[in-house]
Structure 1
Amino acid sequence: MPITRSGRRTWRALEESRVQGRGLVRIASFGASASTHILPALVATVTRSRPMLRVEISESADKPSLQALRDGLADFAIAVEHDAPDLEMIPVARDRLVALVRHGEPLAKRATLDAATLSGCDFILTKGGSEPLVRAWFARTRHEPSVRHNIQQITSILAMVRAGMGVSVIAEMAVPETHAGVAVIPLTAEQPRVICLARRQGSFGSYAAELLWKTALETSKAEL
């Protein structure tokens, strides 16, 4: 039985999907760390070899990103590594917490800062994905931050530190390249975090999604 014109079009579309990776992959990103430092390189790597693959990124807080993944609204989510039986995760980057202090303050001259020192300062607490890590870092030495402000946006935190309204601790990857007037200081002891590409356990939603996952897996093995 001869193949119809419609059948040939369907066959060509399937072949393009298999060979060239044609398709849309949706990634839920939790914010500046992922959207600035992780996803551009990953997307560039996969689309360089599969130019017909398209990636759509939506940015929100970490919990809504993971919920979008679980609800099937995204193929993948960028998430801080944690135990989640329904998810599979590939480490794609390592990060750490750092302190933010206004230039000109005595603390800005320190090589490192510890929880005991920072607990004595007015504190600007991030309400982003790093908040649990920040609280855990203080708790490890049985200290608590003296929280005066609870802020979601990194730009707002920097502006408040610059204005002398307090100090803060955030993920180093979230710090913009330009942060005039604010010193970025490592912590003692360090509080690392592993950032992962997460997917639901089971089969992939598309061949394009499978290609991106394989690329992330190869990159992880090469770099981490």
Structure 2
Amino acid sequence: MTITQYQVFVKVMESGSFTKAAQELNMTQPAVSHAISSLESDLGVRLIIRDRRKGILLTEVGKQLLVHMREILQRVGHIEQIAAAEKGLEVGTIRIGTFPTAAAQFIPPIMSYFQRHYPKLELLLREGTIEEVKKWLNSREVDAGIIILPDAEMETVPIYKDTMKAVLRRDHPLCAQQTVSINDLDGLPLIVCHGGYEAPIIEMFRRAEAELTIAHAVYNVATVLSMVREGLGISIMAGLSLTNLPPDIEIRSLEPEVCREVSIAVPSLNEASPAVKLFIETVQKLIRERNIK
């Protein structure tokens, strides 16, 4: 078995195609097929099933080995990064998973900073829901993920406290107040945005012993704001989501204050690559210096 075979196997599964894998690896398709066949022969097990309708599928053992092969390739990357660092270079690739709001607010200035200061370090962004980011971390499809706590399976480094706000149509009676308590929202129709909002909202209503009435639950922040604007209910959203408010929408602080803890998560801080550790340190530095708001 060779590292090249592992690289080919992982690339085939990530691209979902022998042809695409060959193109990305600058190999011929027969060479890719031969690498997979040789790997299966060396292991004595079948890793991949080709299905005419569903495409390329992993066997059960293939699913298990894919995670381990990703870990091995990450270790190889660590070795290359350590050797490069000894020569005064920062090289490598960091695969980052993040949810859309964090991607919009954090990632552009971070990528810009890395391009200026570490041009040989490549940041690859993958965007999805918070649950998807956690799944990618567990399967080692990303090296680091920006998530909302809590997460018992990963080691995390807090980077930002995202304050929750009440979102109201301008003519709503609660707009007359400077702050809104959870008890003020008792029984009122609430529009909830999926993707990390539900847990803190449920918890804050539970603590206040107030009635949580979810009138609508959607996935898109813009949809929530449009529904509030149409008078279909009020919402509680994170400050990061409220940078560009439409007309006739106002926000109010909650009393008591409620925050979501945005963190960088990795499977293991001790085993993280030099590049990932540099990424974490850089993000902390940028946010601390308020270059990211």
Instruction: Name the TM-score, length of structure 1 as normaliser.
Output: 0.83
In structure 2, the gaps of 5 or more residues are 1-79
Name the aligned partner's letter for residue 146 of structure 1.
Answer: T
Within 5 Å, which residues of 2 pair with 1:87-126? 87-126=154-193
Matched to 1:59, the amino acid is E
Give secondary structure in 2 for the equivalent of 1:28.
strand
Larger-gyration structure (1/2):
2
Tell me which of 54, 60, 72 is aligned to 2:128.
60
Greater than 4 Å deviation, 4+ residue runs: 217-223
1:70 aligns with 2:168: no
1:160 lines up with 2:227 in the alignment = yes
Give the structure 1 partner of residue 249 of structure 2.
182
After superposition, the CA RMSD in angstroms is 2.3
What is the aligned-residue identity percentage? 24
Cα 1:54–1:18, aligned 2, differ >3 Å: closer, same or farther?
farther
Question: 1:144, 1:178 → 2: CA distance?
Answer: 27
> 2:265 aligned to 198, 203, 211, which one?
198
- For CA contacts below 8 A with separation 6 or more, give which structure has more relative contact order: 1
Identify, as 1 or 2, the structure richer in strand. Answer: 1
Q: 1:149 aligns with which of 187, 210, 216?
A: 216
Across the two proteins, how many residue pairs are aligned to each other? 208
The equivalent of 1:43 in structure 2 is 111
Q: 1:66, 1:151 → 2: CA distance?
A: 20
| Greater Cα offset, 105-114 or 39-48 | 39-48
Paired residue type of 1:92 = I
Q: Displacement, 1:126?
A: 1.8
Normalising by the residue count of structure 2, what TM-score does the alignment of the two structures yield?
A: 0.65
- C-alpha contact (below 8 Å) 1:92/1:216 kept by paired residues: yes
How many angstroms apart in 1 are the aligned matches of 2:261 and 2:87?
A: 32
Describe the shift of the 1:178–1:125 C-alpha distance in structure 2 as closer, same or farther (beyond 3 A): closer
CA contact (8 A) 2:155 2:266 kept: yes
Aligned to 1:20: 89
Q: Residue 162 of structure 2: SS of its match in structure 1?
A: strand
Unaligned runs of 5+ in 1: 1-10
Give the deviation of 1:220 after TM superposition: 6.4
